[in-house]
Amino acid sequence: MKAVVRLSVIVAASLAATVVTAGAQTPSPPAAGGGLQRIAYIDVQRVLARSAAGVAAREQLEREKAAMQKEMDSKRVELEKLREEIDKKGALMTADARRDKQEQFERKRRDAARLADDFQKELERKESVLLQKVLQEVSGIIERVGKERNYYLIVERRGAGVIYASPEADLTDEVIRAFDQANPKGPAPTPPAVAPGKKP
C-alpha cells in the first residue's frame, strides 16, 4: 500500500527527530572497557512490521481499505451496466433519452471519482492517526529501555543515516518485546468515519 509506505517513512523520520537521547539528562559512566558501547540503534520499520501493535494497525487499515474497495466496486458495476445499456439500447432511444442517459452516466462517473478521492484521503488520515499512536508508544518504550540500560544515545537506523552498526548495538528486538508486553492487543481502534456523502 503506497500510502502506508509513505507514512512509515514519515514516521521513521519523526522518530529519529524526537526519540533518541535516552539517558542524556543523567549520563552514567561508560561500562568498564566499553567506552562507546553506550550507543545503540533501533529500526522503526521493523518495529512497525513485527510488533503486535504495528501488525494490528496494518490489519485495521486493510479492513478499512477493503470496505472502501467494496463500495467502489459497487459503483464500478453500476457504471458498467449503465454504459452497456447506452451501447446496446442507445440506437433505439430518442436523441433526448440518449442524451439524458449519457448525462446520467457522466454524473455518476464524476461522483465515483470524487468518492474514490475522498476514500483515499480518509484512508491516509486513518493511517496517520494509527501510525502516530504507535510511534508515541514506541518512543516511550525506547526511552525506558535506554534509561534502564544506561545508554547515552539511541538512534533510528534509517533516519540517522547509519552506514555501519554492530548487531550487538541493535535494540530493535528488545524494543519490540517490551512494546508487545506493554501493548498486547495493539492500538485502540479509531472511531469509524462517516462515509462521504452520508449523514451520521
pTM: predicted TM-score of the whole model, two decimal places: 0.61
Query: Any idea which residue has 430518442 for its cell?
Result: 94
| Each residue's pLDDT tens digit, 172-193 | 999 999 999 887 665 555 544 4
| Each residue's pLDDT tens digit, 120-162 | 999 999 888 888 888 888 888 999 989 988 888 888 887 777 7
Share of the chain above pLDDT 70, in %: 73
More confident residue, 25 or 108: 108
Query: Any idea which residue has 448525462 for its cell?
Result: 103
* Strands annotated E in the chain: 39-42, 153-156
Q: How far apart are CA 85 and CA 97, in angstroms?
A: 12
pLDDT of residue 76 exceeding 50, the answer is yes
Q: What are the domain boundaries of the chain?
A: 2-24+40-182
pLDDT of residue 69 exceeding 80, the answer is yes
pLDDT of residue 10 exceeding 90, the answer is no
Q: How far apart are CA 142 and CA 47, in angstroms?
A: 11
Q: At what angle do helices 95-148 and 52-89 cross, to 10 degrees?
A: 170
pLDDT band at 164 (very low <50, low <70, confident <90, very high): confident
pLDDT band at 22 (very low <50, low <70, confident <90, very high): very low
* pLDDT in the model for residue 2: 47
pLDDT of residue 71 exceeding 70, the answer is yes
* pLDDT in the model for residue 20: 43
Cell numbers at residue 157, please? 537506523
Average pLDDT on 100-129 reads 93
pLDDT of residue 37 exceeding 80, the answer is no
Q: How far apart are CA 197 and CA 199, in angstroms?
A: 7
More confident residue, 27 or 184: 184
pLDDT of residue 6 exceeding 70, the answer is no
Residue 110 to residues 115, 132, 133, 148, Cα–Cα distance (Å): 9, 33, 35, 57
pLDDT band at 113 (very low <50, low <70, confident <90, very high): very high
* pLDDT in the model for residue 158: 77
